[in-house]
A and B are shown apart, each in its own frame.
Chain A
């Protein structure tokens, strides 16, 4: 994984449920199904969330919000799931989380179609450096699955879309473990219409599993969550589960 302070893209189009970002490096966007974050503070508290800042910002009006504080269920869960490396003294950085579902490389100029040069890759890079610099770009799209606010992670859509021109970072394994301690985001992904959803769900579970060092138990519990979501569509469940297997 890249340096965690190094951004991998910059947002060029955003909506409540997804965004498009230009990749920092041509041909090297974040992997399909990987978790990315856009650091962003949602600003004023949500309705029912008014509290002073030194109080633990657990949202009582929201039973699904959880905090990764010492002694809480999720903290125990973190420990069980291999998240013990997390330094709990650092609060969770406010951010929007998303899963990459698509990447494309096109000409930077609208309507212009790149032509073939019939050269090998190194030759081309030497002779035509402007291609990578100016004429071509890689874009990736990601589906928003939740956000962090205060010290809790919420697995539902944020109140505001990400801002244009903000930077996109890859999530660290610790963040992924913390983010996937609950599986509510799977429903968002399973119901996501603009993407090859089965492939995206499978890839994202593989990523989370990888971040946990290949924890099989996690794969099974994610599969069980899927089984609950897809109880009416066994064929689809079967297709996804076959794609989860390494």
Chain B
């Protein structure tokens, strides 16, 4: 580093924040805080480096404790105005102890070697230093050097250094974005989707329940709205809508209106709705009997039946008459509420098949956002998502098998984003719905889920354990925290980190796409820097910005 006058800037070694005094591989390390450091400066989730004798240990702060070496002190603390005594005790008799969880280690004689999982611990009195930008880049990769990496934010207390996620690994598995309502899940999801789209690592199908991803989204703050994916990637994103009226009202251009014919509705889709429709198991058996008799026209035939038809059908097919009429009643309610997009194709012709259309976009490497407009009730969302996904899944299986046969290239990985995921993936449904299947095994067929949810405890544990990367904003409920930590080693320390996140713009990232768990202050979505990095600000604007920054530097 040289300054303008050619003089070398003196090297300032990072200030030691403490030394290791205790620890075990299982429980983690304990650091005594250096007297000069305030306990309040050490926050859970902070990223630190322990300099062992042979290895450097990259670690995370998981807990902070107040300790004292004098028992009598606690019974008789110094008075409020006894400033000298307080100053003397601080750092000597009273001191901070910080729990660290070592996550990765690297040999000191070869710092460029592969990062190793932690299999030992540093010796007594090993110094602990705050992580530097070089450490963060070393672990999380550098966006500028390798396009696989995508900046998602900065570590705590390190405003300038980006933490990157490995997008290639990210799309390899199903992923989850969790956090209670209002913690910035949707923003994080947009950021992740932008990363995936920009780096062309996969195609996305987004079931956009609240119409927040397509053209523009809402913003809780001083700005009323932010740009959606379509405004960022005009040619690469297609917006489909179930409710074109709503899209028009919002001034959001759409590419395609989705209509679903009755013939596409299967019993599996109804199974998914059994809680919402309050259906009994008998009703489902009845539905199977209908399919056995009428095949893909079962739904329109059922809805047309009058009371005589019901009696006849139940006698002929040995089903319970009351159950049949209950099923009819409930499905009539369903179809009535969905009549704007659920079309009886025995009566009205539907010229374009939504699934085919979506598939053709996905095949062309374009990303599809399906807006639900006014249809935000979970019932409709689940029905449509399930019908479409089931068929798209079938196509993907077909294509992947063809590619295995050697005839065609492998299809682009597909990431399906679903919100309110616990409704699809609850323990009672995960075994039956297509989303459960995708979460468990679809990696083989290049289809993965991006699950966005505020209630991870409602998701089946087996599905959760398959989630590769978990990006978790603040969660308070113990059950939800437990659920997110399913299948994470060393979860004990991370739980406290998770519970102490800020309520906005902070997330704990664990799993497949990052080498070690890390707490990030997530980057801003849709500010100038973000638009620049997505390449949507035209080059002349870029030049202007650079000029402005130069002006600032010399001001």
Task: Name A residues whose Cβ lies closer than 8 Å to a Cβ of B.
Answer: 219-220, 223-224, 226-228, 231-235, 237-238, 241-242, 244-245
Contacts and interface: CB of A to CB of B under 8 A. Distances in A.
9 contacts: A220-B88, A223-B88, A227-B93, A228-B92, A231-B69, A232-B70, A234-B70, A238-B76, A241-B85
Contact of A244 (B69, B84, B89): B84
Most buried by B among A223, A228, A235, A238: A238
Nearest to A244: B84
Contacts of A238: 76, 78, 85
Interface string B184-210: 000000000000000000000000000
A233 B89 CA distance: 13
A231 B93 contact: yes
Nearest to A232: B70
Contacts of A245: 84
Interface in B99-136: none
B35 A223 contact: no
Interface in B60-85: 69-73, 76, 78, 84-85
Contact of A224 (B35, B71, B73, B76): B35
Nearest to A229: B92
User: How extensive is the interface on chain B, given as a class?
Assistant: 10 to 19
A223 B78 contact: no
A219 to B, nearest CB: 7
A31 B472 CA distance: 67
Interface of B: 35, 69-73, 76, 78, 84-85, 87-89, 91-93
A235 B72 contact: yes
Main secondary structure of the interface of A (DSSP, over half): helix
Given A220-B88, A227-B89, 8 more contacts: A223-B84, A224-B35, A231-B69, A232-B70, A233-B70, A234-B71, A237-B70, A242-B85
Nearest to A220: B87
Contacts of A233: 70, 72
A224 B88 contact: yes
A219 B84 CA distance: 9
A234 B93 contact: yes
Contacts of A237: 70, 93
Given A234-B70, A234-B72, A238-B78, A227 B92 contact: yes
B70 A231 contact: yes
Q: Considering the complex of A and B, which 9 residue pairs feature the smallest CB-CB distances, nearest first?
A: A223-B88, A234-B72, A227-B92, A234-B70, A231-B69, A224-B92, A234-B73, A227-B93, A220-B87
Contacts of B69: 231
A226 B72 contact: no
